[in-house]
Structure 1
Amino acid sequence: MTTSATTHDGLRLIPFHGLRYVPDRVGSLAAVTSPPYDVVVRPDGVDYLESADPHNIVRLILPQAETPDARNEQAAQTLQDWLAKGVLSADPEPALYVYEQRKGRLLQRGLIGALALSPADAGIVLPHEDVMPHVVTDRAGLMRATSANLEPLLLTYRGGDVAVGAAEVVERTARRAPLLDTTTEDGVEHRLWAVTDPADQAAVTSDLRHRQALIADGHHRWATYLRLQQEHESPTPWDFGLVLLVDTVRYPLRVRAIHRMLYRLPLADALAAVEGSFRVRPVNGPLPLALEALGDAAERGNAFLLAGGGSFHLVTDPDLELLERTVRRDRPEAWRRLDATVLHATLLDALWQIPDTPDQITYIHDAAATVALAERHGGTAVLLHPVREEVVRDLARQGVTMPRKSTSFGPKPATGLVLRSLG
């Protein structure tokens, strides 16, 4: 469905003909799903997902070939083949989709739709992290080649405690039998419903028209949407992008840190470089115990857990004069105190002198995986404590972006449950 992205003062979520796997053509719906592309960071993760089912969505979001052009061409051809063979099929009616994730006490529900794109200065969709240009270029090439949004961004908004408008549509829809119901390997149950009633769609539109959203996950994809929109003269389907919109008043997200692994900095060298500028002390393992120590230290100020060579060290209490020299002063004090700010400005740039390039630094969501990679390469794992959501939202409202890869909101939507074609 193509609708012009006309000027508006709030969120505008429109229905679309979702592309979904045909259950009879795949081994199982769980076997064709994947975490978001930036969570599947290692080749062994890609290999594992590819082996789970020949039609796993990772073959589209992370195609394996020698060059970017070859990867993009491969993904486009794969998508065309799957459509031609009936592996993927478009829903007959344009719909918004209610999406639910459930595991134990965890319950999250939200709406998937095509969101009208707006620049950051419009104050409708608020980014909170910087992006890496090469990643945007990579994602743009893939979307351009496939003419598709292959996975939704995760956006949050503040609705209300009372189930009215969009919230009422979500809750009422979730009482019906779902389009699909599958449980992935991590034990999370995923359910999806289509909202096709024009009255329900109108209720969602009316409720969201004066609301703003925070990008919880998917800053690079949002920047990609905006870049591709500029390449096409409106109105076109490129004026909209695939998102999952969650009301965090009803369904609060979990905020976790994203860690760094420094390939070319052995732990001993990292510790020697900060001696005298930070307080450094060894802490006992195993990792869960060391992370508890990090959490306690983070309550009192900047704190980092460095790991490698089988040991853990807390790095805390930075020299205040050093911070004044290294951290830019044209930002709010809350931004200047962020662990990610101090990590990049003071540790990486000033003391360790490590450029933020893929051959030097890898960003990993899982703490254990970060430590394991550091052990394997003889590098240093830098583990961070998560930032509170209210800090993120307050800075975003001020138009201030955090250092890239500062936070990880979740649970993240599974990739592969519904796609959006722009063709």
Structure 2
Amino acid sequence: MNNEGPAANGGLHLIPFRGLRYVPERVGSLAAVTSPPYDVVVRPDGLLHLESADPYNIVRLILPQANTAGARNQQAAETLDRWLSEGVLAPDPEPAFYVYEQRKGDILQRGVIGALALSEPSEGVVLPHEDVMPDVVADRAALMRTTAANLEPLLFTYRSTGSGTGATAVIDRTILRTPLLATTTEDGFSHRLWSVTDPDDLAEVRTDLSDHQALIADGHHRWATYLRLRAEHPSSSPWNYGLVLLIDTARYPLRVRAIHRLLHSLPVSEALAALTGSFRIKHLDGPLTHALETLADAAAGGNAFLLAGDGGFHLIDRPDAELLSRTVRRDRPEAWRTLDATVLHSTLLDHIWRIPDTPEHIAYIHDTEAAVEQAERTGGTAVVMHPVREEVVRDLAREGVTMPRKSTSFGPKPATGLVLRSLALD
């Protein structure tokens, strides 16, 4: 998406908020209470690991555990209230924007966290690039409705003109000050957070962002949740805004990774047998790193996937052109019709394997090794994807065309638990 210049119907409208933050003296460490976004936590291993890291880990709010959905959501709300009353979490004294920095090796990302006015895709201010799953939106809406809180910021991107003014200038000035918090999580990323409360700085950020659109990099389901809950409340209420992290990718480019599929009930042998005559099948020797290199080479020439789960790797590529013509819808741009995710869902899942896109049949896993390991442990099939190029995502979003759900994983993603937004305080 090329979003230099004003959006079609007005730009981004960001407002400060009173952040809820952990009180360092009440927890073991800030790193121990954080979590990846809810959909990156690999159940059950990752969930149990986070729950045991600290009794106040944020996963108890974003992924509460109980026998029913209603009980889970009520448990999260009661936990949030208890932590506030006990002083484990506390609101900052005044509304602020938050400058957030993530760093690991040569990766550096900085952006602004605030409450963003909600808008529909048709308004041309916030552009999605992926479809969403209604059951996930319903699940997140129930949790957010019960807790009356935005528990984790969504990841949005915009592109500045590179002039070094506006939000960029405010960020550059702010990072010279002592941060509110600094911690390093177990994935090796260091995190720093500053508050911005000076009226002139707030105005400079708001004025700058009002000339831009944003692309949803991560958080399509939670953005759809924001929109659903806004419809349930008066337009002037705090529910008209949602917590986001805005990154200027002209200055801090994000990485784009693939999201893999785990097909619970399809053994690799059956998956391969069904592909005979439709795809080229090549059995690969060697470790995962070699298989991924082979996948990258094949993906440069067309649709390609790795299948894993039987202790080896199988490259499938060169799909039959007539098969694609019959199974992929024609009323979309060529860039959409040739996406790996499009071919996977339209041709493989819907037509050849006939697997419904429901949680009982398909899991979406960000980590490649975890996808392969789970497939081998359960006897299913991992479909390992190659990342789509970022410019393809932008171009399709600009055309108003959404990609198949879970097509991309932009990162680094913000850590959950560093700053929350209570709608009761706004």
Q: TM-score, normalised by structure 2?
A: 0.97
Amino acid at match of 2:98: Y
Query: What's 2:175 paired with?
Result: 174
Q: Which residue of 2 aligns with 1:142?
A: 143
Structure 2 match to 1:326:
327
CA–CA distance in structure 1, aligned partners of residues 70 and 273 of structure 2: 43
Moved more, 171-180 or 149-158: 171-180
Per-residue CA distance 1:75-126 (angstroms, 9 max, x = gap): 0000000000110000001000000001111110000000000001011000
Deviation at 1:285, TM superposition (A): 2.2
1:312 deviation in Å? 0.7
CA offsets 1:367-407 (integer angstroms, 9 cap, x no match): 11000011011111100000111100110111100000000
Contact 1:267-1:307 within 8 A present in 2 as well: yes
2:246 counterpart SS class: strand
Residue number in structure 2 paired with 1:160: 161
Matched to 2:394, the amino acid is: R
Q: Distance in 2 between matches of 1:174 and 1:30?
A: 20
Structure 2 match to 1:259: 260
Matched with 2:3 is none
CA distance in 1, matches of 2:26, 2:59: 17
The residue number in structure 1 matching 2:18 is 17
* Structure 2: distance between partners of 1:50 and 1:84: 21
Give the drift of 1:44.
1.8
Corresponding residue of 1:242:
243
1-side partners of 2:124 and 2:276: how far apart? 43
Deviation at 1:176, TM superposition (A): 1.0
Deviations 1:173-216 (A, max 9, x none): 11111000001111111000000011011111111112000000
- 1:4 corresponds to: none
Identity of aligned residues (%): 73
- SS for the counterpart of 2:355 is coil
1:415 aligns to what? 416
Q: Hey, what does 1:385 align to over in structure 2?
A: 386
CA offsets 1:34-62 (integer angstroms, 9 cap, x no match): 00000013122111111111100000000
Please tell me whether the aligned partners of residues 9 and 125 of structure 2 are also in contact (alpha carbons under 8 angstroms): no
Q: Report the TM-score, using the length of structure 1 for normalisation.
A: 0.98
Determine the structure 2 residue equivalent to 1:310: 311
Matched with 2:226 is 225
> CA–CA distance in 2 between the matches of 1:41 and 1:291?
21
- Cα offset, 1:350, TM superposition: 0.4
In the alignment, is residue 403 of structure 1 matched against residue 404 of structure 2?
yes
User: What is the aligned partner in structure 2 of residue 114 from structure 1?
Assistant: 115
AA paired with 1:112? I
Gaps of 5+ in 2: 1-7
- Please give the alpha-carbon distance, in whole angstroms, between the structure 1 residues aligned to 2:312 and 2:232: 50
Provide the rounded CA distance (Å) in 2 between the counterparts of 1:380 and 1:27: 39
Q: What aligned pairs does 1:178-197 form with structure 2 within 5 A after superposition?
A: 178-197=179-198
Shift of 1:160: 2.9
**Cα separation, 2, equivalents of 1:376 and 1:336:** 33
1:283 aligns with 2:284: yes
1:160, 1:250 within 8 Å by CA — same for their partners in 2?
no
Q: Distance in 1 between matches of 2:298 and 2:172?
A: 40
**Aligned residue type for 2:264:** Y
Following the alignment from structure 2 to structure 1, what is the Cα–Cα distance between the partners of residues 379 and 94? 54
Q: Residues of 1 paired with 2:320 and 2:45: CA distance?
A: 41
Match of residue 29 from structure 2: 28
What RMSD in Å do the two structures reach over aligned CA positions? Answer: 0.9
Distance in 1 (CA, whole Å) between partners of 2:147 and 2:91 is 15
**2:113 partner SS:** strand
**In structure 2, how many angstroms separate the alpha carbons of the residues matched to 1:121 and 1:285?**
48
Aligned length: 417
- 1:59 is aligned with what amino acid? R
Taking the aligned partners of 2:280 and 2:153, their CA distance within structure 1 comes to 42
Which blocks of at least 5 consecutive residues in structure 1 are unaligned?
1-6
Superposed, 1:41-60 pairs within 5 Å as 41-60=42-61
Q: CA deviation at 1:8?
A: 5.8
Tell me which residue corresponds to 2:4. none
